């Protein structure tokens, strides 16, 4: 996990890993399910906002890369320039598509939960509890990875 998140590990740790570990700690302490549902809901909202930000940033990057199409190319240019341009164009378009699909999935899950939940009972499902239990089992390995990355 550290290799995949190396370029943005601090953001990943603050916005994803530590909130998940806080939710796991609350589940371990057997806190109220309403509080657990509220923590899950706020985490999902933050992740959805993060996906929207990535969509906007990737759209701007792809627009800038596409804007370079009108530039004149020099006769004797090195191959690295066009290769980097095409790579940035492909990666920015890929990030737009990926963040759009992930935000669609998140939005669908949130809508499904809001329809299933009633006003008196917060929308928390068995699937969320199973994920939290799996993280509780693997929390020691996550904690060792987290502390080893700090040192």
Q: What is the pLDDT of residues 90-131, one digit of tens each?
A: 988 898 888 888 888 878 877 776 666 555 444 455 566 667
pLDDT at 1 over 80: no
Q: What is the largest CA-CA distance in the chain?
A: 70
Structural domains counted in the chain: 1
105 three-state secondary structure: helix
Give the per-residue pLDDT at 114.
67
In a domain, 44, yes or no: yes
Write down the pTM of the prediction: 0.63
In a domain, 32, yes or no: yes
H/E run at residue 145:
helix 139-150
In a domain, 1, yes or no: no
Q: What percent of the chain has pLDDT over 90?
A: 0
In a domain, 64, yes or no: yes
- Please count the other Cβ atoms lying within 10 Å of the Cβ belonging to residue 58: 20
**Parent domain of 134:** 6-150
Q: What is the pLDDT of residues 3-28, one digit of tens each?
A: 777 777 888 788 888 888 888 888 77
In a domain, 33, yes or no: yes
In a domain, 102, yes or no: yes
Give the per-residue pLDDT at 141.
64
Question: In whole angstroms, what is the distance from residue 19 CA to residue 39 CA?
Answer: 8
Q: What is the pLDDT of residues 23-55, one digit of tens each?
A: 888 877 776 777 777 788 788 888 888 888 888
């Amino acid at each position: 996990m550290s290799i995949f998140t190396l370029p943005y590990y601090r953001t990943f740790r603050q916005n994803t890993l530590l909130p998940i570990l806080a939710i796991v700690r609350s589940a371990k302490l057997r806190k109220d399910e309403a509080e657990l549902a509220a923590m899950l809901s706020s985490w999902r909202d933050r992740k959805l906002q993060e996906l929207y930000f990535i969509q906007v940033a990737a759209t701007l990057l792809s627009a800038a890369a596409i804007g370079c199409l009108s530039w004149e190319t020099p006769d004797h240019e090195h191959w690295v320039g066009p290769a980097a341009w095409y790579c940035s164009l492909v990666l920015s378009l890929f990030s737009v598509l990926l963040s759009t699909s992930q935000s669609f999935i998140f939005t669908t899950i949130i809508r499904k939960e809001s329809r299933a939940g009633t006003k008196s009972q917060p929308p928390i499902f068995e699937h969320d509890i199973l994920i939290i239990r799996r993280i509780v089992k693997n929390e020691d390995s996550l904690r060792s990875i987290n502390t080893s990355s700090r040192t």
